[in-house]
A = this chain, B = another copy of it.
Amino acid sequence: MTMAKRDTYTPESLLAVAVEVFIERGYDGTSMEDLSRAAGISKSSIYHHVRGKEELLRLAISRALDGLFGILREPEACEGRAVERLEHVTRRTAEVLMAELPYVTLLLRVRGNTDTERWAMGRRREFDQQVSELLKQAAADGDLRVDTDARLATRLLFGMINSIVEWYRPGGAGADHGDEVADAVVRLAFEGLRRT
């Protein structure tokens, strides 16, 4: 019904539109028709940019994964005591999640029906695994309360961090500040609620 827009999309701006539609309708439930309607350009214009919706998913997921795996290469994640590296990775994971909110949201929601989704889930598990190793190392150094299983502690830690996508919305009046949220995550995870 609407006039087709002139196609002034870059790969990035088209991706941003596609990710919103994927999140709203689910990846499986999104057709090229839906993407064309949301972008205001024809399907053939979309095919001018990408081979199809699975490529858009791969690009979106890659953006989230690049952000997350980039954390593990930061000097603060590689050098020093494991407990300090773990704290850095925790803070930065929360920060990257908020900075790349729609992309990480999409990553957390994929369920594995296509090759791209299975690849995404595998890479996400790899990230979790690397953080779990760091947690084990910190426990071995005697810096953590060691009576919680590393796999379980990592799951709860990521559960807390990942839940931010459910309610965090950047900007706007009364919005939470990303710094405040990242501080709260680190404090709750490392020091706990109770004053000692």
Binding site for B on A (CB under 8 A): 83, 86, 135, 138, 142-149, 152-153, 155-164, 166-167, 176, 180-181, 183-185, 187-196
A134, chain B: closest CB distance, angstroms:
11
Interchain CB contact under 8 A, B191 and A145? yes
Q: A83-B194, A148-B193, A152-B176 are in contact. List 6 more A-B contacts (CB 8 A).
A: A135-B193, A143-B194, A155-B167, A157-B160, A158-B163, A191-B194
Q: Which residue of B lies closest to A26 (CB)?
A: B26
Interchain CB contact under 8 A, B159 and A193? no
CA of A59 to CA of B157, assembled, Å = 32
Chain B residues whose C-beta falls within 8 Å of the C-beta of A160 in the assembled complex: 156-157, 159-160, 163
Which of B146, B190, B194 meets A144, CB within 8 Å?
B194
Interchain CB contact under 8 A, B144 and A188? no
A132, chain B: closest CB distance, angstroms:
13
Interchain CB contact under 8 A, A148 and B194? no
- Can you name 28 A-B residue pairings with CB atoms under 8 Å? A83-B194, A135-B193, A143-B194, A144-B193, A145-B191, A145-B193, A146-B195, A147-B187, A148-B184, A152-B180, A152-B181, A153-B184, A153-B188, A155-B163, A156-B184, A156-B188, A157-B193, A158-B163, A159-B161, A159-B162, A159-B163, A159-B164, A159-B166, A187-B192, A189-B193, A191-B194, A192-B192, A196-B196
